[in-house]
C-alpha cells in the first residue's frame, strides 16, 4: 500500500503533468494584462485625465452594469470600501448585528466594524463552503424575533439588520433560499461578490439579487484595476446615495464647493478604470481559461484517491476564480508540503474569522462545517496567463 506521503507526491506530479502548456504553477493568481490596458492607461497620461474624474470611470461603470445585468454600478477605490458603503446604505448602525460567514476574506467582517456594528457568524454547508440556508433557517428560528418589522437577537437584545452572503472562490451561494430567509426575517441581503465577477446563479449574474452587492478588482481577482471595487444595485435611490457617499458628498453646483454630509473619498481614479475597461474586454477569455484549468485539474485528481476538486453548485455557473482541492481526510498540511515541494504555489483558505483575536468574542452559531472546510480545502494556482 502506498504511504500518505507518496500519495501526496503522486498528486503533485499528476497536477504538473496535466497543466496546459505555458501555465505557471509558481503563483496562485497573477494579473493578465495583454489587451488594451497599456493603450487606455497611456491615453489617461497623454490627456492628463489620471485622477478622480474621467471618461473611463463612466465607461467602466456602464460596462459593469451591462455585463452583470445590474441597473447601476458605482466604482470604488477597492472592494472593502464598496462593502462599507453597502452596509451603511443597508441601514447598519452602531451596535447592530450583521450575519456573515466565517469562511471569507477579512474585509467582509472589517467593513461591519467600520459601521461600529457587530459581525455575527453563520455556518457553511456540508457539501459547499457557502452559507447553508437550512442551518441559517433553523438558527434564526431559534434566536430571532420580529418586533414592529425589525429583527432582534433574543439572546443579545440587539437588532440584526442585514446578512452578507459571500460567493466563495467565485461559486454562487444559494441565493433564492437565502433571499427568502432574509425576507422572512426582515434582513437586508447584501452579496459580497468580490470573487465572483463572471458567476451566474440560475442564469442571472450574482451581485444584485438583494438590495446591493459588491465586487473587487484587487490584483488577485479575475479582473483587476490595480486596486478597485464596485457597488451593484437595481435601486435608483441606493445608486445615487452610493455615488454621493463615495464622492465626498459634494453637491453639484457650478463653481461652488458645497457638501451636505460626512461622506468618503472612495472614488476609483480614471487611470484604474482605464485598466478595468481593458480587462472587461478580455473577461470572456479569462473565463474560458478558468474552465480549461478545471478540466486539467480534474484530469489530474481523477487518478488520485482521497481528493476531489471543488465544483460549482447545481443551478450555477461559476467563474472558477480559484480552483480548490477538497480533501476527504485530515492531512491538509502534508498535501500542502508535497505541493510546495513540487513548486506548486498552493494555499490553505483564510484563517476562519471567528478565531481571530478581534472577532473571537462575536456572536456565532455552531460553526462545525466551517471548521471542516478549513482543514479540507486547498487553493490551487489559477492564473490565466497561458
Least distance between ligand PLP and beta carbon 219 (Å):
8
Show the binding pattern over residues 96-135: x = contacts ligand PLP (CB under 6 A), - = does not: --------xx-xx---------------------------
Options 68, 124, 130, 218; binder of ligand PLP; rule CB under 6 A: 218
Strand partners, 200: 205, 317
Q: Kindly tell me which of 15 and 215 has the beta carbon lying closer to ligand PLP.
A: 215
Q: Kindly tell me which of 152 and 264 has the beta carbon lying closer to ligand PLP.
A: 264
Binding footprint of ligand PLP, residue count (CB under 6 A): 14
Q: Kindly tell me which of 194 and 247 has the beta carbon lying closer to ligand PLP.
A: 194
Q: How far apart are CA 73 and CA 46, in angstroms?
A: 27
375 CB-side CA count, 13 A: 8
Least distance between ligand PLP and beta carbon 129 (Å):
12
Least distance between ligand PLP and beta carbon 46 (Å):
28
79 belongs to the binding site for ligand PLP (CB under 6 A): yes
Q: Kindly tell me which of 11 and 210 has the beta carbon lying closer to ligand PLP.
A: 210
Options 191, 192, 312, 331; binder of ligand PLP; rule CB under 6 A: 192
State how beta strands 212-216 and 188-192 pair.
Answer: parallel
Q: How far apart are CA 176 and CA 182, in angstroms?
A: 10
Options 23, 40, 68, 80; binder of ligand PLP; rule CB under 6 A: 80
CA angle 98, 312, 10 (to 5 degrees): 115
The answer to whether 209 and 179 have CB atoms below 8 angstroms apart is: yes
> Which SS3 state, helix, strand or coil, does residue 166 take?
strand
State how beta strands 188-192 and 200-201 pair.
Answer: unpaired
Q: Kindly tell me which of 63 and 379 has the beta carbon lying closer to ligand PLP.
A: 379
Least distance between ligand PLP and beta carbon 108 (Å):
5
CA angle 173, 155, 371 (to 5 degrees): 40
195 belongs to the binding site for ligand PLP (CB under 6 A): yes
Of the candidates 99, 280, 144, which has an alpha carbon nearest to the alpha carbon of residue 205?
280
Question: Distance of alpha carbon 226 from its chain centroid, rounded?
Answer: 16
Residues in 264-303 that interact with ligand PLP by CB under 6 A: none
Least distance between ligand PLP and beta carbon 66 (Å):
21
Least distance between ligand PLP and beta carbon 205 (Å):
17
Largest CA distance in the chain: 80
Q: How far apart are CA 86 and CA 107, in angstroms?
A: 13
State the residue for C-alpha cell 482521497: 306
Q: Kindly tell me which of 65 and 112 has the beta carbon lying closer to ligand PLP.
A: 112
DSSP code for 323:
-
229 belongs to the binding site for ligand PLP (CB under 6 A): yes
In DSSP notation, 258-313 reads EE-S---B-PPPHHHHHHHHHHHHHHHHHHHHHHHHHHHHHHHHTTSTTEEE--PP
Q: Kindly tell me which of 159 and 280 has the beta carbon lying closer to ligand PLP.
A: 280
Q: How far apart are CA 133 and CA 140, in angstroms?
A: 10
216 belongs to the binding site for ligand PLP (CB under 6 A): yes
State how beta strands 150-153 and 144-147 pair.
Answer: antiparallel
Q: Kindly tell me which of 119 and 229 has the beta carbon lying closer to ligand PLP.
A: 229
Least distance between ligand PLP and beta carbon 85 (Å):
12
Q: Kindly tell me which of 107 and 326 has the beta carbon lying closer to ligand PLP.
A: 107
Cell of 125: 454547508
319 belongs to the binding site for ligand PLP (CB under 6 A): no
State the residue for C-alpha cell 452594469: 65
Options 166, 238, 242, 307; binder of ligand PLP; rule CB under 6 A: 166
Cell of 88: 451603511
Show the binding pattern over residues 29-68: x = contacts ligand PLP (CB under 6 A), - = does not: ----------------------------------------
Q: Kindly tell me which of 11 and 89 has the beta carbon lying closer to ligand PLP.
A: 89
Rg of the chain over Cα atoms, rounded to whole angstroms, equals 21
198 belongs to the binding site for ligand PLP (CB under 6 A): no
Chain residues that interact with ligand PLP, rule: CB under 6 A? 78-80, 104-105, 107-108, 166, 192, 194-195, 216, 218, 229
Amino acid at each position: 500500500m502506498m504511504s500518505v506521503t507518496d500519495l501526496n507526491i503522486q498528486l503533485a506530479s499528476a497536477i504538473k503533468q496535466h497543466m496546459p502548456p505555458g501555465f505557471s504553477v509558481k503563483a496562485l493568481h497573477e494579473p493578465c494584462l495583454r489587451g488594451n490596458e497599456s493603450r487606455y492607461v497611456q491615453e489617461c497620461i497623454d490627456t492628463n485625465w489620471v485622477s478622480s474624474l474621467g471618461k473611463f470611470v463612466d465607461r467602466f461603470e456602464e460596462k459593469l452594469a451591462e455585463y452583470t445585468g445590474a441597473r447601476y454600478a458605482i466604482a470604488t477605490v477597492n472592494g472593502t470600501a464598496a462593502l462599507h458603503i453597502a452596509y451603511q446604505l443597508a441601514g447598519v448602525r452602531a451596535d447592530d448585528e450583521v450575519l456573515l460567514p466565517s469562511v471569507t476574506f477579512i474585509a467582509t467582517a472589517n467593513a461591519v466594524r467600520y459601521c461600529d456594528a457587530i459581525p455575527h457568524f453563520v455556518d457553511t454547508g456540508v457539501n459547499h463552503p457557502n452559507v447553508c440556508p437550512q442551518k441559517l433557517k433553523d438558527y434564526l428560528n431559534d434566536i430571532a424575533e420580529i418586533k414592529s418589522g425589525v429583527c432582534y437577537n433574543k439572546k443579545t437584545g440587539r437588532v440584526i439588520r442585514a446578512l452578507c452572503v459571500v460567493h466563495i472562490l467565485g461559486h454562487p451561494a444559494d441565493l433564492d433560499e437565502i433571499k427568502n430567509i432574509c425576507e422572512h426575517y426582515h434582513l437586508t441581503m447584501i452579496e459580497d461578490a468580490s470573487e465572483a465577477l463572471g458567476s451566474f446563479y440560475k442564469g442571472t449574474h450574482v451581485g444584485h439579487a438583494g438590495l446591493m452587492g459588491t465586487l473587487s478588482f484587487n490584483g488577485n481577482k479575475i479582473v483587476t484595476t490595480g486596486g478597485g471595487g464596485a457597488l451593484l444595485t437595481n435601486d435608483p435611490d441606493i445608486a445615487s446615495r452610493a455615488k454621493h457617499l463615495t464622492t465626498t458628498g459634494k453637491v453639484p453646483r457650478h463653481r461652488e464647493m458645497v457638501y451636505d454630509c460626512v461622506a468618503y473619498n472612495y472614488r476609483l481614479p480614471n487611470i484604474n478604470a482605464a485598466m478595468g475597461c481593458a480587462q472587461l474586454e478580455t473577461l470572456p477569455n479569462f473565463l474560458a481559461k478558468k474552465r480549461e484549468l478545471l478540466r486539467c485539474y480534474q484530469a489530474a485528481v481523477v487518478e488520485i484517491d482521497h481528493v476531489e476538486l471543488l465544483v460549482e453548485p447545481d443551478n450555477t455557473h461559476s467563474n472558477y476564480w480559484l480552483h480548490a482541492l477538497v480533501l476527504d481526510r485530515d492531512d491538509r498540511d502534508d498535501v500542502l508540503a508535497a505541493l510546495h515541494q513540487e513548486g506548486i504555489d498552493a494555499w490553505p483558505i483564510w484563517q476562519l474569522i471567528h478565531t481571530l483575536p478581534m472577532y473571537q468574542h462575536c456572536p456565532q452559531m455552531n460553526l462545525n462545517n466551517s471548521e471542516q472546510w478549513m482543514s479540507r480545502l486547498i487553493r490551487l494556482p489559477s492564473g490565466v496567463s497561458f
